[in-house]
Structure 1
Amino acid sequence: MRTARWSGSLTDILNYTGLPDETPDENGLGGRGEDPPGQQDERQAVRVCHIISSFRPLIGGAERATEDLVCELRRLGADVVVLTRHHRGLPRHEHIRGVPVHRLGLDLPKPLGPLTFIVHALAWLAVRGRRYPLVHVQNIDAPLLAGMLAKALLGRSLVVTIHGEKNIVLKKKTTAGRWRVAWMTQLGDVFVALTGPCRRQYEAQGISPNRIVSIPNGIDVGRFRPATTAQKAALRNRMGYEADVPIAMYAGRLVALKRLDLLIDSWAALPHADSGHLLIVGDGAEKEKLQALADARGLADRVHFVGATDDVLPYYQMADVFVLPSLYEGLSVALLQAMACGLCVVVAGSPGNLAVVQDGVNGLVFPVDKPELLQERLARALEDAAMRKRLGQAARQKVEDTCSIEAVAKSHLAMYQELLV
């Protein structure tokens, strides 16, 4: 019995799999990665393709950071395109805040879904994306494999950003992961370190310091800013919260490593647990378990599961305290947003958090291995309004000085330009 073989060209593959072609998509936008008519500038010096597993409306810290970065790069004149995995119900091709986004591959379980994404991304770069000489991959999963193949087979320059201080260590627990990391260290041209621990993570793999550049995640400090007293009161009134009660919040994924069970237990032990509010903004696998825990602690009317939202800003602006009890972090975008909004932040002392938060200076820190101290730090933050104000102002200043999205994007542009010379 003879095995059937595909005899078509790469263009046939692109058309067969639903990848962008020369015709407009359902939104009336061209599918090749250009800006809409009238916004394209052929003189743009930097052309870069960002590859990430998921993108808006599927939002996490890496997705938020990448979206803000590519949009600011575009504003500064770069020609940017995003390749991401296709998920059922989302358009194949669209522009998000002016940046072309192509969702590639098939929405299938692992390993088939990621594999089809890698193949389709490589095909897109070979045929439709020839004008992008530089590929910037976000994280160590399928995007990294696609980027490494683009480097090895298509000769593209490769920039790697790994979000998470332990992602390489975790990946190396498997044989396949060890091979991937070894290949990455050989093929990557530049590695972006979000924090000091991220830099040390690269160096531990034998990556030379001259291939590592330190650039943090960036925040739009013009948008994420403290509310006035009147604005804060109006937000609380609109959302049904009292103006004079303490409100703490968490924003992010509801997964085990975030230790939200610790946060709920700590909240239950506070003297004002029956008068204040704890807002948990986000969604994830632990949601039902956490809701059951809050009910068991008698906090059903005090711990509020807001769910996922496209606009977390109002929650930052009406809260008093932001809490991040994670076991480990890279450089949390949610933390930076909260700091930019002038909140008093209470965080676990993981290296990623310590990159921006100094205990008693611009936030409160409890040791990762002493979770019982979270309750004490929370109580201090909620009971001392003067301290909250002082720490919140210092937190805002820290983000303005080191993590503004404009400065971060300009640092990326300079790195891209040096790499392409």
Structure 2
Amino acid sequence: MLSLYEGFFAGGARQLHTTVVAGLHAAGRQRHAALSIHAQVRREATVQRMTDDHRYQLLRAAGVPVTTLGRSTDDGLDPRRFTDVELARAAAAVRRADVVMSLKEQPLRLVNQLDGVERPVVACLHRSDPEHQGTALDDLLVAARTGRLAAVVCCAESARDAYRDAGVPASLLRVVPNGINLARFRPVSCARRLALRGAEGIGPEATVVVFAARFDTMKNPGLFVASARHFLEREPAGHVLMCGAGMSEANPDLVAELDLAFGDRPDLLTRVHALGVRGDMELVFATADVVALTSVFGEAAPLCLIEGAMCGAIPVTTPVGDSARIVEGIGFVTGFDPAEIAETWIQAAARRDDLGPALTRVRPRFSHVRMLAGYATLIERAHRGAGHRLARV
């Protein structure tokens, strides 16, 4: 198996895909490798190097070989064109594999240019807005039309429906719901929770809301910040933690959003913690009462809601993708009004103890073991050929 990454940078899709690759590789029935187009990317006002990335390090620790074409988003190269050397390196990597997995549809632009190299491709899709992916949808449709695609894995029903409506043959689309490592994402003891809060300067009685997202229009950080203003005014002991690429004071766009919302109340900002990219999100979630999502489009099955909930935080989300299905019975869905969102955070935190048993009951539903089995089945079907040419070149 060869997985193609656009690059290694912070994000739920990469975390999910890395869990799949490392898990299947460790199981022993499949041998996996990864190839990244970029060795360094600049996203959300943050330069992110492959070798510094938590997902890269997880793959290496699991024994998965990881190579790169060595590109940087700062090098000025046309992202649609590849050099002969790059194409030769990619073709050699593909020839060593029986099946290729593409993390999202963007790397298919590389696959479609590998003339004479025939391997079944499984595309793994994690969004519900194909029309917002630039030319990537065209690359996906070309791969389907030319017979390269053996299957398309959708992490949610909303993703399946969106790509079907965009023209991807329904016969290729399969839903494998997202799962997480429940041994990692779990509640901690009261003593540990207090210690984690103390490390962030947060008292034991505080109401804590965590926002785990990159600084991107899709995630609607402006709405979150505006909601945080309402929440902190209502909750004198409330705290807000913001994690993800661009969620730090090094990002001038985030600073501008905070200035806009809190310019007349700088005292409230002492309870806003911009933590940036974290590799220990299970500990951040364990400090929280609420895990919040304010996205306006694009989401399919947001990992932050699942991870936060499995650590004991009550999920509160806007109605995007499969979010409502994910939080049914364990959380809340809001509209896009900041005051409504803030009030729902307060209500959710107040019901944290009541909803604890429900969070425990649904844990098996979010197990990554089930997810790995789904991916393994699709990969093995692709390997068997199912109408695709598997001749080695």
TM-score, scaled to structure 1 = 0.78
* Distance in 2 of aligned mates of 1:288 and 1:377: 25
**Count, aligned residues:** 359
Alpha carbons of structure 1 residues 362 and 87: separation in structure 2 relative to 1, 3 Å: same
Percent of aligned pairs with the same amino acid: 24
Among 234, 246, 258, the residue aligned to 1:291: 258
Q: Who is 2:285 aligned against?
A: 316
CA shift for structure 1 position 366: 0.7
Closer/same/farther in 2, CA of residues 411 and 249 from structure 1, 3 Å limit: same
Does residue 337 of the first structure (1) align with residue 307 of the second (2)? yes
Distance 2:93 2:228 in 1: 53
Q: 2: distance between equivalents of 1:225 and 1:188?
A: 37
Partner Cα distance (1:117, 1:218) in 2: 34
CA distance in 1, matches of 2:90, 2:203: 53
Cα 1:116/1:182, change in 2 over 3 Å: closer
From 96, 105, 122, the counterpart of 1:131 = 96
Matched, 1:157 2:125: no
Alpha-carbon separation, structure 1, partners of 2:136 and 2:102 = 17
Aligned to 2:334: 366
**Aligned amino acid, residue 32 of structure 2:** V
SS at match of 1:288: helix
Partner of 1:225: 186
2:244/2:277 contact within 8 Å kept: yes
Cα 1:75–1:348 change in 2 (3 A) is same
| Partner residue in 2 for 1:79 | 31
After superposition, give the CA deviation of every residue in 1:100-159 in whole Å (9 maximum; x if it has no partner). Answer: 111213325486263566866642343245220211101222x12123334x53111011
1:214 Cα deviation (Å)?
Answer: 0.8
Answer with 1 or 2: which has the greater Rg: 1
Where do 5+ consecutive residues of structure 2 fail to align?
42-48, 385-393
User: 2:240 maps to which residue?
Assistant: 278
* 1:302 alignment counterpart: 271
Report the more deviating stretch, 280-289 or 197-206. 280-289
Q: Secondary structure of the residue that 1:75 maps to in structure 2?
A: helix
Secondary structure in structure 1 of the residue aligned to 2:242: strand
Query: How far apart, in 2, do the equivalents of 1:91 and 1:245 lie?
Result: 37
Aligned to 1:406: 369
Check the 8 A contact 1:137/1:144 in 2, yes or no.
Answer: yes
Cα-Cα RMSD: 2.6
Residue aligning to 1:169: 131
Gaps of 5+ in 1: 1-47
What is the aligned partner in structure 2 of residue 25 from structure 1? none
Deviation of residue 199 (structure 1)?
0.8
For residues 108-127 of structure 1, what are the structure 2 equivalents within 5 Å?
Answer: 108-109=73-74, 112=77, 114-115=79-80, 122-127=87-92
Q: Report deviation, 1:402.
A: 2.9
Q: Which amino acid aligns with 1:379?
A: I
Q: CA deviation at 1:363?
A: 0.3
Q: Do structure 1's residue 59 and structure 2's residue 22 form an aligned pair?
A: no
In 2: Cα distance, 1:178 partner to 1:312 partner: 31
SS in structure 2 of the partner of residue 191 of structure 1? strand
Question: For residues 371 and 108 of structure 1, do their structure 2 counterparts lie closer, same or farther at Cα, with a shift above 3 Å needed?
Answer: closer
Could you say which residue in structure 2 is the equivalent of 1:147?
111
Query: Which residue pairs with 1:235 in the alignment?
Result: 196
- CA drift of 1:376 comes to 2.4
What secondary structure is seen at the aligned counterpart in 2 of 1:301? helix
CA offsets, 1:384-421, max 9 Å, x none? 2xx213334424543x3333222211211111111111
- 2:167 and 2:88 map into 1 onto residues whose CA distance is 31
- Cα 1:228–1:372 change in 2 (3 A) is same
What is the CA–CA distance in structure 2 between the aligned matches of 1:86 and 1:189, rounded to whole Å? 28
Give CA deviations for 1:179-219 in whole Å, capped at 9, x if unaligned: 43431332322011111111112221343333211102221
Q: Which residue of 2 aligns with 1:352?
A: 322
Check 1:381–1:96 CA distance in 2 against 1; reply closer, same or farther (3 A cut): same
